Amino acid sequence: MRSQKRKRGVRATEEGIVKVIAAMAKGDEGKRLTYEKLAEKAWVHVSTIKRFLKRNCIDKTCAVSILNALDLKYQDIIENQEDNNTAA
């Protein structure tokens, strides 16, 4: 039996969130990106964007899609996590 809950997904650092918000403020063609527009551009649900910005864990592929939509680098935004693939 496991004593700790297995962590799933990834989350942004506090500094990473600042960079994401700054990238959203720049937006497309000088217009600020709303949650809805970013979700559309990243092909994810608006609730995923909100969870990500609250620093909750989200699926890695969703995080990559969001960061690609904002032209940000994954390693600059996401927390380093220990490998969860070790045997229990």
Q: Give residue limits of the domains in the chain.
A: 9-79
Contacts of 35 (CB under 8 A, 6+ apart): 46, 49, 50
Rounded alpha-carbon distances, angstroms, from residue 41 to 5, 29, 46: 33, 14, 11
CATH class belonging to 9-79: mainly alpha
Q: How far apart are CA 33 and CA 6, in angstroms?
A: 34
Per-residue pLDDT of the chain (88 residues; tens, 9 = 90+): 556 666 679 999 999 999 999 999 998 888 899 999 999 999 999 999 999 999 999 999 999 999 999 999 999 999 986 533 333 3
Q: What is the model's pTM?
A: 0.83
Output phi, psi for 28, to 5 deg.
-100, 130
